Structure 1
Amino acid sequence: MNAVLYSLFPVAAALVAAACAVFSQKSDRIRCLMQHLAAGVVVAAVAVELIPELLHRRSPIPTVLGFSLAVIVLVILKRTESGGSSKNAALTIPKSYIAATGIDLLLDGIVIAIGFAAGRKQGKLLTVALTLELASLGLALIGELRSRQLSRWRAFTITAGVSCFLLIGSALGAFILDYLSAPFLTAALGFGVAALLFLATEELLLEAHKLEDTTSTTAIFFVGFLSILILDIISG
């Protein structure tokens, strides 16, 4: 129950950030900064939360299966998204971006459940880290959807729906954590690693680099990474 309740804070952060982005005139440069920040947070989440857990489990086969499945699914979605004309592509919903973000948030919810299972302090610190991540992702997702010429209301509705995957993940994690076999959980973590890396490298940074990099955009990536790293050190 604690995991689900605390998951409301990151979801609220995503919705507030998305609402601010929808009803304000943000420049492409601001969106680029937020995409770099979100990418840094996501890469840090992989480095400090998921990969150490996978290394600790020492189960290469489930890891490879879960990782490979994520790559196949996301590449297929990416190819489907880019299969139309360039004119129509600007008007389509970025399926691979949304799928990767949804998977990310689903697994983040499970991570919160795991954190509270380990201890209340760990769960709270994970919630703080994920609140920052969702605020960044909310801004970046709104910017991406608006760049595809979606209406403000539709962009906000999609962002709100995707954000709810965190609640679903935390509820699932709290309910079935004690019933899943170790290989299945390992495969799920492998899937999550690939999904998060795809989100950061093939979506967030790829879109951000359509504008010329500056010192500030480069630095903000490392600010996002460092913030999660420091939170993880504190929680340890």
Structure 2
Amino acid sequence: MIINKVTLYSHVWDEMRSFYVDVLGFELLLQTDDGFEIKAGESMLEIKKYHHKEKPFYHFAMNIPINLFTSAKAWAKSKMELTREDDDDEVYFSFSDAHSFYFLDPSGNIVEFISRYSVSPESEVESFSAQDVLCISEINITTDEVRALGNQLISNGVPVRKGEAISEDGLNFMGEHEAGSFLLLGPRKRRWIFSDKESEIFPLSIVINQKLEISLDGEGFMKLKPVKHNQANS
């Protein structure tokens, strides 16, 4: 599975644009009165203005080259404070053979940069910049209907990682392990590691494999529809 585009919502739209474009240096692809899009490797991240009283936040991850983890971490620490878990500012996931570090953006999103050693390539450069991000590789789908939505995704060609059973109480990695990109399907009130935040339901939209748009409303109900030609790259 390839995540082509992720659309999130923010109550601090101006701060988010400044953070990702001016501070981190991501390429700005489009800006309108209602939002902006940046290039994240082979993916696009769209941030839209949120016009309600809640303050939406999400967890998403970006894959980075396996030989640039140390450089990327130093780059990130020069721009902001990394979050910590058990007094560490990075983690190794033995099951996934991957290293990650985390930070919070102005919207309170839990952002993860991850090197997946078994699937991500090496880079020819030695010093990391935002242009070395490979893709968006994780985005949460939080809902009260975990099993029903999981079965919908499976029926649309998005399996649970390594054929695992759907867990209604846990975090389900939806996608092929070999592709290194996943939809993180889970319930509310799960604490996101490297943060003190618990998962909540907020609207979002995801385009995968250039052909399927997954939309979640503010109540956690999911809608699936085929994308129009070039919609993933609009």
**TM-score after normalising by structure 1:** 0.29
Structure with the bigger percentage of strand: 2
Structure with the bigger percentage of helix: 1
